[in-house]
Amino acid sequence: MKTKAVRLYGKADLRLEEFELPAIREDEILAKVVCDSICMSSYKAANQGAGHKRVPNDVDKNPVIIGHEFAGELVEVGAKWAGKFKTGGKFSIQPAINFKDGPVGVLSAPGYSYRYIGGDATYVVIPKEVMELGCLLPYSGPGYYPASLSEPLSCVIGAMYANYHTTPGSYIHKMGILGGGKMAILAGVGPMGLAAINYVLNREGSKPSLLVVTDIDQRRLDRAASLYTVGFAKTQGIDLRYVNTSLMADPVEGLKEIAGGGGYDDVFVFAPVAPVVEQADAILGFDGCMNFFAGPSDPGFKAELNFYNVHYAYTHIVGTSGGNTDDMKEALGIMSKGLDPAGLVTHIGGINAVIGTTLDLPNIPGGKKLIYNHLEMPLTAIGDFAVLGGENPVYARLAEICDAHSGLWSVEAEEYLLANAGSLGQ
């Protein structure tokens, strides 16, 4: 089976190549990858090359396929797994497999470490460890892109469970966000922040009574407010506020005032910016937990923290990087029940757009960039479909479909694109 894939050879050295996949063994599975969502983690791996902890040292000789937020369908199932997985079944993969015998040891992950599996490919060979560790996850919901986005949503879910709270005099940590508490999501209207808002409003577990989402970009705040409305939040028992901190004379005092003066129980930081981290620390209430969610590229990244409050106010900090398999199962389950992650997606492209998009990701505005591997299409903002429709009827129809879905991507748009991709060209 031939595959077309984007492979990493070294720092900023990505190549779109066609090559032959090896025949699967009895403990492997051949799969078709329909779509992949490009992640900042792929940008970091692509620009660090072998210097990245998940990328093998010999990547220059044995290149790896990039991309780890992908979904597709099973094409051929090895005999060992025939009783558990069926040809044609839709799937997603938990990439953080933690397999000690992988290409780079316990940090090995599809999309970083493997020669024959990654999200930016037309076909892949799923290695035995993915199944052995329960990381090949069936998806029964509509479309493919929700399953692709289950990985980033699982990261948010994991963060919510990683927070903890204490009781004075007890050494038992109560894991998870505080039910009925006050929550703030700082720098919270980027792709992952939107996923966090969506999840908090729709999760079945504990919810905060107050959710404050901040940013300094009013346009992005307005878009978030149109997707995840204050009205819907009220139906979930949540007082949702969108706040532009750049308009506040004193953001810390302003945010505390919104919380009634006592600070916040759970604060999530969605940008690796020292002033944002320090702001998060400053608005923590008694026994408040700050989750530093945004992974910095700089290994020397630092910010000041108030250790007086650590001692006397029991404030504490956690950091999460990815979700576990249970988190991803929850993500797939909640999407199968109706949660639509389409609000994260702002751009659509084909496999020919992967290299440029990945290497320049921080400089491309908007949210998630969704790649459909079996078509060629320049990376295109959903908002530009209507203009492009003047020259190409496929874009015109996509614009109509997206407009009918409040300007968002949808299963209907995905199905139309996949059926008419041949008319797009490059």
Give the domains, in start order, of the chain with CATH numbers: 1-148+340-426 (3.90.180.10), 154-319 (3.40.50.720)
Helix 411-420 crosses helix 393-404 at what angle (to 10 degrees)? 170
Task: Provide the β-strand partners of residue 64.
Answer: 8
Q: Cβ contacts of residue 232 below 8 Å, gap of 6+? A: 201
DSSP annotation string for 251-273: HHHHHHHHTTTS-EEEEEE-S--
Measured CA to CA, the distance from residue 372 to residue 11 in angstroms comes to 24
Query: Which tens digit of pLDDT belongs to each residue from 389-422?
Result: 999 999 999 999 999 998 999 999 999 999 998 7
Query: Which tens digit of pLDDT belongs to each residue from 359-373?
Result: 999 999 888 999 999
Residue 426: its pLDDT value, please? 43
> Token pair 């945004």 is at which residue?
294
Q: Say yes or no to pLDDT of 300 above 60.
A: yes
Give Rg (Cα) of the chain: 22
Mean pLDDT of the chain: 94
Q: Say yes or no to pLDDT of 187 above 90.
A: yes
Output the CA–CA distances (angstroms, integers) from residue 338 to 44, 80, 143, 333, 372, in the order listed. 32, 33, 12, 9, 22
Query: Which tens digit of pLDDT belongs to each residue from 190-218?
Result: 888 999 999 999 998 899 999 999 999 99
Q: Say yes or no to pLDDT of 114 above 80.
A: yes
**Identity of the amino acid at 66:** I
**Taking the model in full, what pTM does it have?**
0.85
Query: Which tens digit of pLDDT belongs to each residue from 233-263?
Result: 999 999 999 999 999 999 999 999 999 998 9
Q: Give the residue among 166, 120, 119 at the shortest CA–CA distance from 289.
A: 166
Q: Say yes or no to pLDDT of 349 above 60.
A: yes
Output the CA–CA distances (angstroms, integers) from residue 420 to 69, 211, 253, 393, in the order listed. 24, 41, 53, 10
For the chain, what percent of residues have pLDDT higher than 70?
Answer: 99
Are 198 and 343 in contact by the 8 Å Cβ rule? The answer is yes
Residue 97: its pLDDT value, please? 86
- Half-sphere CA count of 205, side-chain side, radius 13 A: 13
The β-bridge relationship of strands 368-372 and 345-350 is parallel
